[in-house]
Amino acid sequence: MIAPALLGFDISWDATLRNVILGSLILGLMSGVLGSFSVLRRQSLIGDTLAHAALPGICLAFMLSGTRTNEWLLTGGLATGLVGIFVMMAISRWSQVKPETALGIVLSVFFGFGILLLTRIQHSNDAGQSGLDRFIFGQAATILPRDLVVMGIIAAISLSVVVLLFKELKVLSFDPDFAAAQGLRPGVTSSILAALIVGVVMMGLQTVGVVLMVSLLIAPAVAARQWTRSLSSMIVLSGAFGMLSGVLGAVSSSLGDRLPTGPMIVSVASVIVIISILAAPDRGILSRIQRRRDRARRMRDDLIQIDHQGRVIW
């Protein structure tokens, strides 16, 4: 289905599809790699709050500047996203509210406010209004060549940091207190990682949308964990799963007529997760059931042996 589209259509369609493939490939790779750390550190919901809290900023940026260029809109999104994270931290620091509850509060309040602004914009008579709703569920077909340049730069920086700071990121994720006691400055490593994750979340808002962006951080990492026994292999496989989900989801959505990309990408990623949780060796559910059956059989055999020695078992 994809191949004839690549070969048979005219130049402009090809260029769009190429942008979609490249963009979602970069996005999936980055989400998979950085999401591995989020999942292992049990902090993936911070990315979710960041994404949801970006929506009011995107709308405000549009209302204030009137432009529809991604740079301005995402700058606005970044601003309210970060405000959301700080509010979340302040709530859990200064009140009895637990951090995950604070995440939920900030996420829904900011997202609700964003929807309010979006509705206002759509009911106004502004000529440039259409298309802002692409940030809710994503629209990969709107990726432009200059977006690709920005994405490529962010990706190159992120991958270099992960390679260079691999040992620091590993000990940060496994045992931050121990890292601190060794003088490895987990606070610094953690801030660098947070900055990279902010980058990839902003990068994904246009393609996957604020609602489902977090699943692209979580799903590939969860699936990759099932098949792997080391952090490096988990990151590589998670990146690959992310690319696969991104490309298959985004391409299938651009072939249809204005199908939102986020849900398509998430559907592909979910299938990968379900297969991984069921079928992975060692950690998969099927292999666990198999192991339990083997144990039961061994035990039955042992019982029969005892029986041969003349003891009554039952």
Partner 1 sequence: MTTKSVARPAVAPLAASAQDSTSPVVEIRDLTVAYNENPVVWDVDLDVERGKVTAIVGPNGAGKSTMLKAVLGLVPIAAGHVRVFGSDLRSVRARVAYIPQRGTVDWDFPTDALDVVTMGRYGQIGWLRRPDKRDRQIALECLAKVGLSDFAKRQISQLSGGQQQRVFLARALAQEADLYLMDEPFAGVDAVTERTIVTLLHEVRNAGKTVVAVHHDLQSVPEYFDNVGLLNVKLIASGSVPDVFTEENLKLTYHNAGNAGLETSREMQPISNGSSTPAGAFLR
**Binding residues vs partner 1 (CB under 8 A):** 40, 42, 164-168, 170-171, 173-175, 177-184, 225, 228-231, 233-234
Q: Enumerate residues 6+ apart whose C-beta is below 8 A from 54.
A: 74, 77, 78, 80, 81, 84, 114, 135, 201, 202, 205, 210
Cβ distance to partner 1 smaller for residue 224 or 250: 224
Minimum CB separation from partner 1 for residue 181, in Å?
4
Minimum CB separation from partner 1 for residue 213, in Å?
24
Cβ distance to partner 1 smaller for residue 291 or 300: 291
Cβ distance to partner 1 smaller for residue 42 or 98: 42
Cβ distance to partner 1 smaller for residue 27 or 169: 169
Minimum CB separation from partner 1 for residue 86, in Å?
20
Minimum CB separation from partner 1 for residue 176, in Å?
9
Comparing CA positions, the residue from 57, 56, 84, 91 lying closest to residue 72 is: 57
Q: Enumerate residues 6+ apart whose C-beta is below 8 A from 36.
A: 221, 224, 225, 231, 234, 235, 238
User: Position 295: which residue type?
Assistant: R
Minimum CB separation from partner 1 for residue 184, in Å?
6
**Residue 168 token pair:** 């620091």
Helix axes 261-279, 231-255, angle to 10 degrees: 140
Cβ distance to partner 1 smaller for residue 40 or 78: 40
